[in-house]
Chains A and B, each alone.
Chain A
Amino acid sequence: MSVQWWCSARGIPWRWSWQAYPGVWIAVLALGAAYARWSRPNGESTSHPNAVSEGRRVGGWIGVALVWASLDWPGGPLGTGYLSSVHAAQFLALAMIAPPLLLRGIDGNRIRAFLARNGIAAKIITAVTTPLFAMLAFTIVMLATHAPGVVDTLMRSQLGAFALDLAWFLSGLTFWWPVVIDVPLRERFGPPMRMLYLFAGTQAHLYLSMWLLLAEFPAYGIYELAPRVTRLSALEDQQVAGGLLLTIGGTYVLAVISVLFFRWFAEPQPEA
């Protein structure tokens, strides 16, 4: 059994034998600890009127579990060095699904209290969660981290693969923050703007999935030259990756937009 700090592409044949990734465990434990702290209601009583619901809190723990599953064995090494389809699933988990689940489980009052006490943190969070900045950052990170040269370079080292995973997760948190959390309060960023924001912010995702689906050749040398794990060719595996991004990612964003729309539709409208 060999131990690696973080998953990286090693170019050796895949074996279904468990491997330890201590760096992943530390990262997931840190995330879990942070989430446990931030999802607690900002007060002694759990019956606080603004307390996070049990469902939201559990959703956040599902987000932690998703992060863990996508980084640890077998998903982590498969996505890092063998299968483009698993790499796409990791992207969906780390940047699209886990961040909003985690953010929904955080108590908004606790964030407000924290930001009131920490001026520098408040300035940074306010700046990076500005919708235009968050959308551009998410789009740039998504496109840059799927560029063949970047993937083929970063995935060969543990530090590079760690940087890529971290970039996905942080850009995902930044992107979903304005949709999920009303801190700081942006009165002009109501439900219609949030729907438009989600639609615009995921256009690059659509482009990326179509590019993977329709490419004539495998885009990434890492996956094309890796010993095969399944009977799928490298190109077929890449098409599965594109299909996953398009169907799961697209359906997920559409579902969130639909929920926002129907909630907004059901809200009592101010009388003219």
Chain B
Amino acid sequence: MGNEDMENVVIAGSGPAGLTAAIYTARSGLNPLVLEGFVPGGQLIVSPEVENYPGFPEPISGMELMDRFRKQAEQFGARFKMEVIENVKIGNDLFELDTGIGRIETKTLIIATGAEAKRLDIPTEPKFYGKGVSGCATCDGAFFRDKEIMVVGGGNTAIQDAVFLTRFASKVTIVHRRDYFRAAPAEMEKAKSNPKIEWLIPWVVEEIIGDNTVTGAVLKNRETGEIQQIHCSGIFVAIGHDPKSEAFKELVETDKNGFILAEAGSTRTSTPGVFACGDVCDPVYKQAVVAAGHGCMAAIDLEQYIYIHRRK
């Protein structure tokens, strides 16, 4: 390990997990390099308001929260590159990371790449992306002033998006495939008390209608099979996320859904020296505060690995 260019630790991802790992490893003097990916801050930056992150009694935007994480990591010496790992090769006591832009050698790797938003996966969806279909309420909500909007999904993101979009829209219809919601009760209460929000459950989107832009959607009732067409100018999709683990499938074990598997009670993966944290290995909780805690665990597991490795 005499290569001076070799990194001690590379952290792939810059959401709550990756940046917490960066804070801890930087503070331990490991001089981490964070590969931020093409969307620095991860999924949280599309959240208009975060109300449940401890230490913030007033709501804070996801963008600002992640900016604070980043500044804190930077203060301790973490370095950042806007690159994405495309491929990893295992070398002799090192990992070679191919980012498409260059190659990076590192002794250890923390995978905190998070998850990416699922799409509806219906044939007309791509045609209308940017012309009525969106995955980001904070980015595109203002284009739908005084228009009718549909939000698809039943988790926190969908319900928060629906409430946020009532700032612009004349009406927001939440379409959800189940007859129960995964969103937190506090979020549900806000939505239920909002007079601009209507509910369609258990319905699914069968087709998006429009010529140049979205004018409506065909919905199907999952219980009765009934079909109905509703008018809307915008469709915001918030139906969950898939783990971003594709580049690491040859490197570490994953489950059938692509979540990276770690040893119980730790962040150690099937490959020594590689640690995973946050939503890329969390099919259950998917919360910023959990991801942050997980990032801390990864940093501590990694420090222990390096300590043991040095002693050998």
A and B found bound together: no
The interface of chain A, by Cβ under 8 A from chain B, is none
The interface of chain B, by Cβ under 8 A from chain A, is none
